[in-house]
Amino acid sequence: MRVIILPGNGCSNVRQSNWYGWLEQRLKSDACFETVLLKDMPDPNKARRSHWLPFIHEELLGNNNNNPSTAQQTIVVGHSSGAEAAMRLCEDTKLAGLVLVAACHTDLGCPSEQAAGWYPPSGGAWKWQDIYENAGCNIVLLHSNDDPFIPIKEPRYVAEQLGKYAGGADNGGVQLRGFEGERHF
């Protein structure tokens, strides 16, 4: 089993940004995963979909080897823009699961987010059922009640949309975990 950590935008040295380096080291020291990948992203400040998704496929998933089983054995942890990248990735790529930290489904009226290409309408409609199914029905969303950038209604909506495909089970593998006082993590 593998883990890929996708950072939020604005992080030019991901190991020194937020909690990414800490999580990488923690997961490696726990030795639960064969591989833990954390790399600086191309276009880190604008986080454009047209740059990030090819990089994720080629450099992190290794799809240049045409080995779909690698992706199916991968859990993706995405934070902020990285969460949106993880969801878009999962629209057409089977993964072992998703951990979405500070996820949102709209650009929140921010021009730079609109230009990044993750959100409808320019990014296309979200393919909620594909995301749910391609994540192996294993999706955890983490959000803080005092996030200054992303209001709680955003991850609640994401969880609600993904939970619709659970077949009547209690959100069928989609969990939204709230935290207090963690801001944007």
**Predicted confidence (pLDDT) per residue in 74-96, tens digit:** 999 999 999 999 999 999 999 99
The pLDDT of 137-147, averaged and rounded, is 95
Please write down the long-range contacts of 10-17, taking CB distance under 8 Å and 24 or more positions apart.
10/44, 10/45, 10/47, 11/40, 11/41, 11/44, 12/40, 12/44, 12/45, 13/40, 14/38, 14/39, 14/40, 14/41
pLDDT at 169 over 60: no
CATH of segment(s) 2-179: 3.40.50.1820
The pLDDT of 1-14, averaged and rounded, is 95
Confidence of residue 134 (pLDDT cuts 50, 70, 90): very high
pLDDT value for 62 = 85
So where are the chain's domains? 2-179
pLDDT at 66 over 60: no
**Predicted confidence (pLDDT) per residue in 17-31, tens digit:** 999 999 999 999 998
